[in-house]
Amino acid sequence: MGTYAPLIKRFFPPAIWRPVSQARYAILRAAQYPAATLHPWRRQSKRVLEHYRQCHRGQRCFIIGNGPSLKQTDLTKLNGEITFGMNRIYLAFDSIGFSTTYYVAVNDLVIEQCLADILALPMPKFLSWRSRRFFTSPPDEQTIFLHTTYSGPKFATDVRGRLWEGATVTYVALQLAFFMGFQQVILIGVDHNFSTQGKPNTTVVSQGEDRDHFHANYFGKGFRWQLPDLETSERAYRMAKEAFERAGRQVLDATIGGKLQVFPKVNFDQLFG
C-alpha cells in the first residue's frame, strides 16, 4: 500500500485493507526466499545453525537488553553465565570485564553504522540476512546470517528458516534461545520504556546524549535510529511466552524497574546462590 496506506486505512474497514496488506507482504517475503535459501553465505549459515540446535538443552541463559536499568544491575554476576548481548552492548564489555557468549543484531541502521565494531567482536554473531549488503568481503566464520523479516508474525522454533523480528532484537534472541534448547531464559535490561516519543519505526537522528539506553553514546549525537514500536514488541513477547510454556520451558524478567508486564518477574540478585 506504500504511501497510500494511511488513506486506505482511513476510508476502508480492516476487513478490506488487512487481507490486501497481508497478501502484499507475503509476496514480498516470497521474493526474498530464493536468495535467503540458496545464496552461498546463507547456505553456510544454515549449516552452522544446525550445530546450535539443542546445544544448550536444559540450561539457563540471560538475554541482556540495553535499557538504562543496566546501570543499576550488577552485570559482573553474569561472568560465567551464558549470555546474549545485542546491538551496542559491547560498550559495556570493558567495565564489566567480560564479553557476552553470543551477539545478535538485526536492525539495518545499527549494523550499517556499527559494522566495524560488530565484525571485531570475538563471539558468534547472529545478523540479519539483509545486512549482507553492507559487507565488502565474505563474512568470517563467526558471522551467521538469519533470515529475519518485518512482517509475517510467528515464533520460529527452527531459526534456519524465516524469523519474525517482532519490532525488537530481543524477540530474535528469544527465538535463538529456544532453538538452542535453553530451559530457562532470563531477561535483564529490557526496560520497555522510552523517553523519546514519536511515531513507531520512524527514523530519527539523535541530537545529544542517549537517555534511553545504558550508555550516553549508545545512540549518541548524529546516530540514526528508529523509534520503538512497543505495541508490536508486546505482541511478539506474548508469542514467545506461549511458545516456551507450551514446550515446558520459561522466560523470566529480572529487569530492574522494567515496564514490560508479559513475563513473570524475578529479583535479579536472588538468581545467584
Cα distances (angstroms) measured from residue 164 to each of 37, 203, 209, 250: 16, 20, 31, 20
Query: How far, in whole angstroms, is CA 249 from its chain's centroid?
Result: 20
C-alpha cell at position 81: 553465565
Strands, E assignment, 116-155: 125-128, 143-149
Looking at residue 4, what is its pLDDT? Answer: 53
Domain membership of residue 6 (yes or no) is no
Domain membership of residue 273 (yes or no) is no
Looking at residue 8, what is its pLDDT? Answer: 59
Contact 90/212 with Cβ under 8 angstroms? Answer: no
The four Cα atoms 153, 115, 138, 49 give a dihedral, to 10 degrees, of -40
Domain membership of residue 5 (yes or no) is no
Structural domain for 257, as ranges:
12-268
Q: How many domains does the chain have?
A: 1
150-161: per-residue pLDDT in tens? 999 999 999 999
81-107: per-residue pLDDT in tens? 999 999 999 999 999 999 999 999 999
Burial 159-195 (b: 16+ CB within 10 A, else e): bbebbbbbbbbbbbbbbbbbbbbbbbbbbbbbbbbbe
Domain membership of residue 4 (yes or no) is no
C-alpha cell at position 138: 565474505
Domain membership of residue 80 (yes or no) is yes
Which residues neighbour 256 within 8 Å (Cβ) at sequence distance 6 or greater?
A: 69, 72, 73, 188, 268
Average pLDDT, the chain: 91
Domain membership of residue 67 (yes or no) is yes
Burial 210-246 (b: 16+ CB within 10 A, else e): bebbbbeebbeeebebbbbbbebbbbbbebbbebbee
38-77: per-residue pLDDT in tens? 799 999 999 999 999 999 999 999 999 999 999 999 999 9
- The least confident of 12-21, 224-233, 235-244 is 12-21
User: Higher confidence at residue 9 or residue 36?
Assistant: 36
Domain membership of residue 119 (yes or no) is yes
171-183: per-residue pLDDT in tens? 999 999 999 999 9
Residue 33 pLDDT more than 70?
no
Question: Average pLDDT for residues 216-240, to the nearest whole number?
Answer: 96
The predicted model scores a pTM of 0.89
Residues of the chain above pLDDT 90, percent: 85
